Amino acid sequence: MTYIYDGTFPGLLTVIFETYRLKQKATAIVSECDYQPGLFGSPLFVDAQPSYADRVITKLQHCCGQDIRRFLYHCYLSEQPRIEMLIYQFAVLAIESNDNILENFREPVIRQLHRIERQMHREVHRMHAFVRFQETNDGCYVALVSPDFNVLPLLGPHFQARYPALRWLIYDTTRHYGLYHESKDTRYVTLNATQHHILTDQMITSVEADYQALWQTYYKKVDIPERRNLKLHLQHVPTRYWKYLIEKQGK
């Protein structure tokens, strides 16, 4: 049976619930925005049901501990191909097993999920590191990012704790939405602008340009040429992140 869900995390959990309620195993789980009619025979459309989703989580927490909700949510946000099926297969394994299946590193599905979760974790950590705010004329600190995964929903707590008194915006230019913070309130925003219009030179303060230049000077000066090791450098700062790193711009 092919299941179509609304693309949300609770929606996916509802699908898992339905496979048990209807006793119909899933052969494919597709988000409705990716669904192409005719490709999968007659699929079943499933609407997200928060109460069903909660029951799935409760059961899985019983099998694998409290942290499982976070774990699966992070995997889901990775947007990896077939991630829905992996999570479904995981749920089946977890419910069948009488031990904490999450610790069974012999099982390929479990290893893949652990791998995805680790990649996700690393991407979040990289965003903590590579976000570069620029001060705009109206006093807002704006950063553009284009992470590999959809990590914006996971960045809030870190930057809230760090910059509670500032007004800031982190905007994902690939997924076209941003996280905006203003006095204790953090929310998602979408801008009607292409990425080139989000931050123009006219919007940036002159002080901002000075500090960018200072940062570039600093970056150049901490280098020890005798020790150069570009392979290691690229491992830590892959080139796909360079476009929004101030220290990699300019001369």
* Nearer to other proteins among residue 12 and residue 127 (C-beta): 127
* 38 or 157: CB nearest other proteins: 157
Phi, then psi, of 17 in degrees rounded to 5: -60, -45
What are the residues binding other proteins (CB under 8 A)? 99, 103-108, 111, 125, 128-135, 141, 143, 161-166, 184, 207, 210-211, 213-215, 217-233, 235-237, 245-247
Q: Name residue 229's amino acid.
A: N
Amino acid at 138: D
Q: Minimum distance between the CB of residue 237 and other proteins, rounded to whole angstroms?
A: 5
Residue among 50 and 65 whose Cβ is closer to other proteins: 65
Query: Distance between CA 213 and CA 193 in Å, rounded?
Result: 27
Indicate the residue among 47 and 210 with the shorter CB distance to other proteins. 210
Least distance in Å: CB of 41 to other proteins?
34
C-beta of 48 vs 246, nearer to other proteins: 246
Residue 85 C-beta: closest distance to other proteins, Å: 19
Quick one: DSSP state of residue 165? T
Least distance to other proteins, CB of residue 186, Å: 14
Contacts of 51 (CB under 8 A, 6+ apart): none
Q: Which one, 50 or 108, has the nearer CB to other proteins?
A: 108
Shortest separation between residue 133's beta carbon and other proteins, angstroms = 5
Compare residues 22 and 129 and give the one whose CB is closer to other proteins: 129
Other C-beta atoms within 10 Å of 84: how many? 24
Tell me how far, at minimum, the Cβ of 94 lies from other proteins, in Å: 13
- Tell me, what DSSP letter sits at residue 179? E
- Closest distance to other proteins from the beta carbon of 246 (Å): 7
